Each structure stands twice: as C-alpha cells, then as structure tokens.
Amino acid sequence: RGLHEYSVEFEIPLEMERLCVAMTSGLLVALLLAVAAPNPAVAIDCGNNKSHNVFMGQRIWGDQLVFMDHPQKGGHWMRKVSADSNSGQLSKVINYIEVIDGYTDGNGGCAYLTSGGVGNNNVAFHLKSQRGEGLDFTIRAYGK
C-alpha cells in the first residue's frame, strides 16, 4: 500500500466536545449582547469639586457652536428638581461638549448624558439638583 492510502482518525472525548460547544455558545451570546444592548446613560459623577462641570471630547479647529442651552430651575425645600436638555437633530457632528454648573459653591447638580454626544449629531442630558437646591447649567456643543 502507498502512503496516501492510510487515514488516521482521532476520537474527541465527549467531555471535550461538550466544553467546546459550551464555550462557543457563551462567546456567541456575549457577542450578541454587546451588539444588541442599548447605549446606557452615562452618569457623570459630580465628584468632590465645588463646580460640577463636565467636559467631553476635544475642540477641533473650525468647530462652531452648534447647540447651546441654559436650563435653570429654582430649588424646593427638601426636594430635588430636574430638567432635560435635548439638542434634537443637528446638521453637524459634535466634537466637544461642555456642561458648566452655575453653582460654584458645591450646591450644584449633576448632569447625565442620556443620548448622543461626541461623534453624533445630537446630544441630550438629564440634569438633577441636590436636595433643596436649584439648577443653573450652561450646555454648549461644538462641531462641524
């Protein structure tokens, strides 16, 4: 018989086959979850500084102001107040966002990015005050 007439067969143990199937299934599920999961809101931690300012992205030469909002609300005793700010669809892509807290004494609120942002043509924030305090934010988005 010639060299090419022989064939070698390997038998994979059943446990090893099950392990390979389980690992492949797990990787497939993880990939599907990563792709199909909705974008979560980015919670911007207020931190320990007195102004709860937020800066995202980087201004690029030629950027223009594409969105500005100045949400303000008075405080209510022992309650938190909130406001939403939404740019809607913009004609330009956002490169840089700044959210400036008007309360510089540590009594300001928190900004939560709820949709869009840098690299998108929209941005939306949910703003929340500290208990008993108001809101005073200036939101600016720059892009081209």
At residue 129, the 3 state secondary structure works out as coil
Minimal CA–CA distance to 114: which of 59, 72, 54? 54
78 and 122: one domain? Answer: yes
d(CA 109, CA 79): 12
Q: Within this chain, do residues 23 and 75 fall inside the same structural domain, yes or no?
A: no
Q: Identify the three-state secondary structure at position 31.
A: helix
**Residues 18, 20, 26, 28, CA torsion sign:** negative
Work out the pLDDT band at 39, boundaries 50, 70, 90. Answer: very low
Rounded Cα–Cα distance for residues 75 and 136 (Å): 10
Domains in the chain, number: 2
For the cut 90, the answer to whether the pLDDT of residue 138 exceeds it is yes
Q: Which domain holds residue 29?
A: 3-36
Looking at the fold, whether 79 and 111 belong to one and the same domain comes out as yes
Q: Rounded to two decimals, what is the model's pTM?
A: 0.67
| 51/98 same-domain check | yes
Question: In this model, does residue 60 exceed pLDDT 80?
Answer: yes
**Predicted pLDDT of residue 33:** 55
Q: Does 14 or 41 have the greater pLDDT score?
A: 14
9 plus 75 within the same structural domain: no
Domain shared by 7 and 77, yes or no: no
Same domain, 78 and 25: no
55 and 110 assigned to the same domain: yes
Tally of residues, the chain: 144
What is the rounded CA–CA span in Å between residue 53 and residue 47? 10
